[in-house]
Amino acid sequence: MTKYEVMHGNQAIAEGAIAAGCRFYAGYPITPSTEVAEILSNRLPEENGVFVQMEDEIASMAAIIGASLGGMKAATATSGPGFSLMQENLGYAVGSEIPCVVINVQRVGPSTGLPTKAAQGDIMQARWGTHGDHPIIALSPGSVQDCFDLTVKAFNFAEKYRTPVIFLADALVSSLQEKIAVPDAAELEIYHRPTPAESPKDYKAFAFTKGEVAPLAAFGEGYRYHVTGLLHDEKGYPTEDSELVAQWWDHMHSKIADNLDDILLYEEVALDDADIALVAYGGTAMAADHAVALAREQGIRLGLLKLQTIWPFPEQRVKKLAQNVRRIIVPELNFGQIRSEVERAGAGQAIVEGIHKADGNQITPAEILSLVTKQQAAVS
């Protein structure tokens, strides 16, 4: 039976992790994500799980990689400076196809920045922070309900596609309190990694299948395989064979690209007849949603595409949107990291404009509406 509880965003993330089957957490406290660790330090022992406070974020990332290889669903949480420290080991997890979830509650940067203020400045770092032309999945919650639901999705995606998943929250949603629906465990769709069907002798931990991944055997279960950050063959051993490397890249990209119907998550608000559209995500999407309601009261046909999957970018949906509206406005707490993607996908078919802040203050519905009405006045 579904329960209704009042939670703040970080609590919903922690409870979503527990519900998804997370039983290992390693992390280092950092504002504004610390409550995730604090809550899991109590909740994980109650669920026969393991909580470890690490000496830093580099070690945190290494620990969850090891726990995942041991068969546990594992996560860590951090904010901008800690996320920067995680990048090398994040790349190791990408290249070794190790499932895990990295929660980044964004704050204003660079460096120490404004530790308690919200930002959305880590969008491109989530995509390209670790080196190499790698695929990645990154999700962004726009409400406390999203914090719970998308955390479950993050673990499902990590296990299903054998990849780290980055959970890009921000300080707006992490500290917000709302009443949310918490489904009964039996009602949740939870994905558990499959176990190998073949014998240990025939097992290929990194089979180069197109659009799929191999089952991942836990260490200690009799399946021997090599794990390395080097490009490798299907059993994990390093190789420079160009044909094998090409097969590896095809596998790595196709396991994401061939499953976009499953991975790409977004919500549409009043887009059926819209001639101006907002594209928003994270905490800023709450202001955008309210701006749509205010505009509609004034007879302005404003709609909203609320992105929940940030990476891979929903290029085709944004392209279609650009074909159907005159203007697209992208409000975000940075200086245009998603706006540039919207411009690229829209390919000049609609005018794209941004509302940008990185001073720790949120973008308000009134600010969005002000730009919309100026545009309307200019047209008329």
Q: What domains can be seen in the chain, in order of their start residue?
A: 3-187 (3.40.50.970), 266-379 (3.40.50.920)
What contacts 23, CB < 8 A, 6 or more positions away?
A: 44, 47, 48, 49, 50, 72, 73, 74
Per-residue model confidence as pLDDT tens digits over 96-108 = 999 999 999 999 9
Taking the CB of residue 288, how many other CB atoms lie within 10 A of it? 28
pLDDT of residue 1: 82
Cα 113 from chain centroid (whole Å): 22
Q: At what angle do helices 144-161 and 9-20 cross, to 10 degrees?
A: 30
How many whole angstroms separate alpha carbon 31 and alpha carbon 28? 10
Nearest to 194 by CA among 168, 166, 216: 216
Task: Tell me the whole-structure pTM to 2 decimals.
Answer: 0.96
Q: Can you list the alpha helix ranges (DSSP code H) found in 21-122?
A: 34-46, 57-69, 80-85, 87-95
What contacts 210, CB < 8 A, 6 or more positions away?
A: 250, 251, 254, 258
How many whole angstroms separate alpha carbon 284 and alpha carbon 364? 8
Q: How many residues does the chain have?
A: 380
Cα separations in angstroms, 97 against 64, 89, 135, 160, 337: 13, 12, 11, 11, 27
Per-residue model confidence as pLDDT tens digits over 202-250 = 999 999 999 999 999 999 999 999 999 999 999 999 999 999 999 999 9
Q: At what angle do helices 57-69 and 87-95 cross, to 10 degrees?
A: 20
How many whole angstroms separate alpha carbon 8 and alpha carbon 32? 12
Cα separations in angstroms, 356 against 16, 18, 163, 190: 30, 35, 31, 37
Nearest to 62 by CA among 98, 38, 107: 98
How many secondary structure helices (H) and strands (E) does the chain include? Answer: 14, 15
Residues of the chain where predicted confidence (pLDDT) is lower than 70 = 375-380
pLDDT of residue 375: 64
N- to C-terminal Cα distance for the chain? 52
pLDDT of residue 227: 97
pLDDT of residue 374: 81
